[in-house]
Structure formats: C-alpha cells, structure tokens
Amino acid sequence: MSQSISIVDAFALGPFTGNQAGVCVLNEAADETWMQQVASEMNLAETAFLHREGEHYRLRWFTPAIEVDLCGHATLAAAHVLWTEGHLPPGETVHFQTRSGLLTASGSPDAITLDFPKADLVACDEPEGMLAALGIREKPIYIGKSFDYLVHVSSESVVRELNPDYNTLGKIKTRGVVVTSHSESGEYDFVSRFFAPAAGINEDPVTGSAHCILAPYWSPLLGKKSMRAFQASARGGEVLVELKGDRVFLGGKAVTTLRGELTV
C-alpha cells in the first residue's frame, strides 16, 4: 500500500516553529492498529488521519502512544493540507467529525480559525506530587481540573524556567498539565507550557486543545473575549483565542515542511 503523508508546522510563527503534526488523508477508514503504528513511526506530538464521509471528514488523532479525544494543532494542520493539496477549494469551510463532536475550520490555508468546544474547569487540590514533579516551589494562584490539570503561577519567568521530572509527572492520572501565567510583554495576554508524559509527549510545543481550558479561564481575569496567547516551548507558537458562549475559536498559521509517501 502507498499512502501520502505530510508534516505541517501549526500555530507557527514561521517554518520550524509551532507544533509539528503528521497529516495522512486516506481514501477510506484505516485499521486502528496501523494508524497507531504510523503515529509511533512519525514520533510527532500527534498524527492526524482523515477520510471523506459524505460532506464531512472523519478525523482521528494519535500520539506516539495513544489515540486522543481532541487535538487543536493537528486539526489546524489537517485543514491546511486539505486546502493546499487540492482536496477542497482553498478557504472552503471544513467540517470534521471527531470523538469530540463536530469541529470546523475556516479561513485560508495560512491563517486558519478552528471552532472548538469550551472546556469546563473545576478548582481542585493538587494531585500528590504534581507540583514537585513540575518543579514549582511557590504556592500556585490556582489549580483546576478539566481533561487536563491547569496550574496558574505568579509570573512568566516561572513558566519559562520549569524543568519537570517527566517520570514522576507521567504517573499522574491525566492527559496532561498546562502551566500558565500572565504575559510580561505587551504582545501577548498570557503564556503557557504543556506537559503530557502519560500520553507519550514530555512537552508539547503548542497545544490548541489546552486553550479550550485557557480561554475561559483567562477571559474573566483579563476582562477580554479575544486574546493573544503564546506557548513558551523551545519551538514556541502563537494562538489567537476568542470565547463565544460555549465555543472557543482558535486562530493560527500553518506551513507544510515535508511531503512524503508511506510504502507499507
């Protein structure tokens, strides 16, 4: 079997920034074991697999270790590939059927907006050992739980200087942990980093889905519905967020850096 595959930098400031995603557009549904093997071979934060189902595309996301319920950057990358590789006219709204319901992508191949569900967040106590595993020595401003844990710390420098113990952090029962603070620059409203060793990703470069938690958390604190966020990983990436009711709109840029062919 021969199958094309692309690597796309999503939520990118330019080539080789943002978060890499593999994108494989299939003619029909593929075997789940094969998709997981391909994702493991790609060894990227997520690899997206999609195929046409009527007017929609069925979209699934795999890390090198597991299938996940929601992924922003690989969805952005998938829309970019559909438009740039001729599967859909550029700018036509893309409708994805996913494990998290119907998601859409609109805009242009280089400036894409995703329509995602808002995530509810509930204040909670620290899971035993989480702050120590993250390397956080101060008392956080807030700890909450959604599909990920959120930890609000006092400053951007605390976020940027984190050096987690991934072995210990990976034992906590959660998809991942997002650590955030206000931005100390005038360019962004807030910054974050995202760690998911239990899902096979020590640090995710840019995590669109985490902003479904971050947007409704930061909106009342900042008094804003539209915000500009920066994920302060080594690669770095920018996410434009807008809160509208129970939906979060995530905006970002994408660029294809590699196209190849799977031969098995």
pLDDT digits (tens, 9 = 90+) for 41-80: 999 999 999 999 999 999 999 999 999 999 999 999 999 9
Instruction: Please tell me the distance from the alpha carbon of residue 101 to that of residue 110, in angstroms, as a whole number.
Output: 24
In the prediction, which pLDDT does 110 show? 84
What is the chain's Cα-based Rg?
18
Asked if residue 74 lies in contact with residue 61, where contact means CB atoms within 8 angstroms, the answer is yes
Domains delineated in the chain? 3-117+250-262 (3.10.310.10), 122-241 (3.10.310.10)
Which is it for strands 177-182 and 149-152: parallel, antiparallel or unpaired?
A: parallel
Burial 211-224 (b: 16+ CB within 10 A, else e): bbbbbbbbbeeeee
Show the low-confidence residues of the chain (pLDDT under 70): 1-2
Percent over 90 (pLDDT), the chain: 97
Which residues, including other chains, have CB under 8 Å from residue 221's CB and lie 6 or more apart?
A: none
The predicted pLDDT at position 264 comes to 87
- Active site members: 46
d(CA 154, CA 142): 10
Over the range 20-59, which residues count as b (16 or more CB within 10 Å of their CB) and which as e? bbbbbbbeeebeeeebbebbeebebbbbbbbeeeeebbbb
| φ/ψ of residue 160, rounded to 5 | -70, -30
